[in-house]
Structure 1
């Protein structure tokens, strides 16, 4: 189990009470307050228990946040509630975050029931429009009316984990409308196979020219398909290719043997797709032969993961020509990502095209992220803290304290309802300019809601305040802990910023706790190693204890991995054994940035880049001089370590 997972936060006791006390209704002894009733109502709504939700909501007639009481009462009945009841709710709370959330819920139900007339009326009023399935339903509705939506559909159908029923319906609809060809269908079949969503495969089986039984067998029992071979028609050959990818997920070499044996029964295009299926799985296992398989894919149309892992395999192998051709073949949304702009610039640099490389680096050098920082260094400059914007005045901050959405957010944070709090906070930020973002961030600082301060300040592009973006709470404790271990304090703060965003009592969904998000077993292990007597698990959220245990653990993995911050950061997130295994697969010494980009766990890959980017800015703040992210990343050598006793 990972040392760190995403933060599922807990309450900030420091948030002040901003609402008048609710009138107390008579309640059973099980509930000590209206807040407890409200939390139970939220849980009943999440569980789809309409009767329980109605009963609990009836006790909260005078609760401080009636829009959410009414939402939690209505949400479990979204599929049975009358149209007028839903319209009344939307009208009553028009313009609010929770009304937009209910419209999202309703649109999903309208799409599911194919009520396109009402869907088309409501969809333009969905403000956030951030639900992929709603977008798929909207495109389906247009396609059913004869509109050409192919380009928009391809933009939406990039992430198979968000397909659900809606995006599968879109694929079926576009095939039936002859807007998608069988080439399109099989592209999405392979993408679904890569991601592992069998139900989605079943939903589009009817438009594949293959039986659902064959598709499911290729998905769930691929080796049986491989034993029979490709067959004589396109559908059976495509099923065989799907099975190759599924088999390679467990054993790439077995899939390679099957493909080599059957190669003459596939045409050139089919062989390219087959090799791509195997190459992707081999790349994600960091297999040294992955680059060989990618060379056999030529110009095959790949999935988003396929393009990115082909480029990563080329980076690991030092094949800059392949890096360049792969990035240039990526769809626009990937090609325009800062990561691939940077690596394309590096590929041009490797070929001697300095002008184009400089142009590419210059296009992202103003971004305050990992690849923006690296691009800046490629242009001969180091990472510095930008000039601080004029601090928000009391007059600018005052409206933030009066903002109803922020007041609701703080109430939710106090109730450990961070998801609802984030919704309310971010809804208000949509309406604000950069000066107001700085003022809102400063208000969050005053209320000691540091995660909102950081995230709000991070939104600004020209008005920058890095004291908001990179706070240093508990600095006296941190100085003592890091000096005792000769540990880089900038790195520790960079890690905490990513781990918990300074939510003091943060607890992840896997049980990691506190600022440094320590797993129970890790905390116990470190306490024993450093001789912390009488340690008990309830102490892990104590600030001093959490920092002491966290810095000691970080110091242990750093020494275990020969002082590499890149490897140790990965170890803190994914466990010490994994980065040792990952480095052992390297074909050569690589830059730390290449190691980070090719980490096979998406969460850990993102984590390492963000922590070291954070650390570079913290160092610039602490030392008041330019810093090098490249130096911090160092290089990673392909040699193993002795087995460690670390958990």
Structure 2
């Protein structure tokens, strides 16, 4: 079958599914629906009501009714909301409305209705709903301080609910000043000045002083430590913010002008603030400052970066102690399971290490692959599952939620489409259903959902679904002409766009290889594409040609290191050069990846190289080594080698 025939067949499949919805509609109804969606997002209840009335027989009535009701949620009666939830019970959009209603009930402190609805909320991923749930328990006299400490780790998501929870815990005597100052430091660490200011009076602090410490930390630190606990704590907050600009100057301020005015505990807190910011800069003094922070309570970021700096120095004793000091949930993350195994192995505790490796080696990700190699095995493709049967596929095709998802994808409403698709995945009970959903997605050319569905299996696998190779003829020609590793390029595309041809990021990157406009123009000029126009960036051939050439340029510039070049593709070439410049000796690629300061780039490098390892195993038909692909990362001027 030719490429053109395959594309025509896929387009026909999408059209057929959309036409199979209860009622076929003209494009005009879709336009009205889009306007209704926009009106609801603006909370324009009058326009939403008028537009909804023009869609009495729309193919997806649950969304018409949702967008009609959502702008009126504050004033709608409980009976009206319950009627909607009953009519569309078991659907993704009903759970979304229940989420919206729970937030409204929490704001109104209608705990009876809140408590009745909360057990019915399936997704339950809203931080504010969780804070309201603890407020409800607190209102009945329950002790919730430990649950609150475990929950309150991401101030960007707090909103009214979580800030009110902290206030209520203080009022109930379940949070003390230590808890509140920990929250203020966490807010400052995350750049949430408004949250820090609001919490300050709960611990005897001054709202304006805390704001000054966060927004003008160098000035605040220069004034020195004031008297009283609140002033000392505010000074520690300012130290952390000042260290973001210059860890060295903050360290000098603490050691020369403030240490004698602070208790041992306060000094440790100050050093922890400085050490974290120094870690983000990969400063050589970070390890020393973490040592001085011994005993200070650390945020989750602090706990992890303390270990990452020890890793960078191959201080395996500190790696082990740092991981073992983490809360259980964090300690059991595959990253820290793997690195704890390495630390135990370095201490000669080989069987304990192997036990940890075995616990994650069956997981198909970066750390599962590394653990597999520590067990003296290579990365291979598992035996393929029995192909999906016609009956299994027919059952999937009849799934109303997946059909709604396809309708949304056809309208380029990816947010709604993904919500519907993932909701149905949540309710599937067998791996065969996941494989059938992945095949259904493949047949309808929704490759990101194919990957998402196939990735969920644990015992039956189809790696052709997990690691697709669309446009392989174009990719082969392009990579061959450049002498590039096609597995690596596919691994990068899988991470960048999940093969969504018209994907566009929040910063304006476009297409399969997510090219920024300036990068696309630069590369087009360098490779002699004189007639390039940015409208071409979503053309498959052009996107792959530009993206692959750019990747090859940064690979050459960074001495052939896929780890460095992958980081450069995500964060720009200047940043990995800067991170590399802080090295004093060669480090293994896995340690370099683990200690990338940008969380997005850190995850990106791991995922791309993990993907590439599986693609190579598929292409070559033989086991592969992720460690060899990671290689080692050296200071500039030293020879790059592979990790054996």
User: Which TM-score tier does this pair reach, normalised by the shorter chain?
Assistant: over 0.9
The alpha-carbon deviation at position 640 of structure 1 amounts to: 6.9
Q: Within 5 Å, give how 1:569-608 maps onto structure 2.
A: 569-608=566-605
Structure 2 Cα separation of the partners of residues 211 and 554 of structure 1:
51
The alpha-carbon deviation at position 12 of structure 1 amounts to: 8.4
Residue among 19, 33, 37 paired with 2:21: 19
Q: Within 5 Å, give how 1:180-219 maps onto structure 2.
A: 180-219=175-214
Seen in structure 2, the aligned counterparts of structure 1 residues 234 and 558 have a Cα distance that, compared at 3 Å, is same
Larger deviation: 348-357 or 337-346?
348-357
Seen in structure 2, the aligned counterparts of structure 1 residues 69 and 228 have a Cα distance that, compared at 3 Å, is same
2:5: which partner in 1? Answer: none
Q: Within 5 Å, give how 1:166-245 maps onto structure 2.
A: 166-245=161-240
Q: SS where residue 14 of structure 2 aligns?
A: coil
1:499 is aligned to 2:496: yes
The alpha-carbon deviation at position 79 of structure 1 amounts to: 1.9
1:540-598 CA distances to partner (integer Å, 9 max, x unpaired)?
A: 11111111111111111111111100000011111111111110012321111111111
Residue among 415, 422, 434 paired with 2:418: 422
Structure 1 Cα separation of the partners of residues 61 and 197 of structure 2:
42
Q: SS where residue 596 of structure 2 aligns?
A: coil
Residue among 251, 254, 261 paired with 1:256: 251
Structure 1 Cα separation of the partners of residues 601 and 50 of structure 2:
44
Structure 1 Cα separation of the partners of residues 277 and 12 of structure 2:
46
Q: SS where residue 381 of structure 1 aligns?
A: coil
The alpha-carbon deviation at position 13 of structure 1 amounts to: 9.3
2:391: which partner in 1? Answer: 395
Q: Normalization by structure 1: what TM-score?
A: 0.94
The alpha-carbon deviation at position 354 of structure 1 amounts to: 1.1
Structure 2 Cα separation of the partners of residues 607 and 12 of structure 1:
31
1:483: which partner in 2? Answer: 480
Contact 1:169 1:203 in 2 (8 A): no
The alpha-carbon deviation at position 185 of structure 1 amounts to: 1.5
Structure 1 Cα separation of the partners of residues 100 and 265 of structure 2:
42
The alpha-carbon deviation at position 349 of structure 1 amounts to: 1.4
Contact 1:320 1:350 in 2 (8 A): yes
Residue among 319, 326, 332 paired with 1:336: 332
Structure 2 Cα separation of the partners of residues 455 and 445 of structure 1:
11
Structure 2 Cα separation of the partners of residues 291 and 587 of structure 1:
14
Contact 1:194 1:245 in 2 (8 A): yes
Contact 2:111 2:136 in 1 (8 A): yes
Q: Within 5 Å, give how 1:245-394 maps onto structure 2.
A: 245-260=240-255, 261-394=257-390
2:641: which partner in 1? Answer: none
Which consecutive residues of structure 2, in runs of 5 or more, have no partner in the other structure?
1-9, 639-644
Bigger relative contact order, structure 1 or 2 (CA pairs below 8 A, ≥6 apart) = 1
Q: SS where residue 202 of structure 1 aligns?
A: helix
1:522: which partner in 2? Answer: 519
Q: SS where residue 42 of structure 1 aligns?
A: helix
Residue among 420, 435, 439 paired with 1:438: 435
The alpha-carbon deviation at position 21 of structure 1 amounts to: 4.8
Residue among 126, 133, 149 paired with 2:128: 133
Structure 2 Cα separation of the partners of residues 288 and 43 of structure 1:
51
Seen in structure 2, the aligned counterparts of structure 1 residues 132 and 12 have a Cα distance that, compared at 3 Å, is farther
Seen in structure 2, the aligned counterparts of structure 1 residues 59 and 590 have a Cα distance that, compared at 3 Å, is same
Contact 1:444 1:453 in 2 (8 A): yes
1:508: which partner in 2? Answer: 505
Structure 2 Cα separation of the partners of residues 387 and 537 of structure 1:
43
The alpha-carbon deviation at position 53 of structure 1 amounts to: 1.8
1:549: which partner in 2? Answer: 546
The alpha-carbon deviation at position 20 of structure 1 amounts to: 5.0
Residue among 558, 562, 566 paired with 2:563: 566
1:145: which partner in 2? Answer: 140
Structure 2 Cα separation of the partners of residues 273 and 470 of structure 1:
46
Structure 1 Cα separation of the partners of residues 296 and 33 of structure 2:
54
Residue among 604, 611, 616 paired with 1:619: 616
Contact 1:444 1:452 in 2 (8 A): yes
Which consecutive residues of structure 1, in runs of 5 or more, have no partner in the other structure?
1-10, 25-31, 642-647
Q: SS where residue 112 of structure 1 aligns?
A: helix
Structure 2 Cα separation of the partners of residues 74 and 352 of structure 1:
63
Seen in structure 2, the aligned counterparts of structure 1 residues 12 and 275 have a Cα distance that, compared at 3 Å, is farther
Q: How many residues align?
A: 624
1:7: which partner in 2? Answer: none
Seen in structure 2, the aligned counterparts of structure 1 residues 567 and 316 have a Cα distance that, compared at 3 Å, is same
Contact 1:561 1:567 in 2 (8 A): yes
Q: Normalization by structure 2: what TM-score?
A: 0.94
1:85: which partner in 2? Answer: 80
Structure 2 Cα separation of the partners of residues 12 and 143 of structure 1:
55
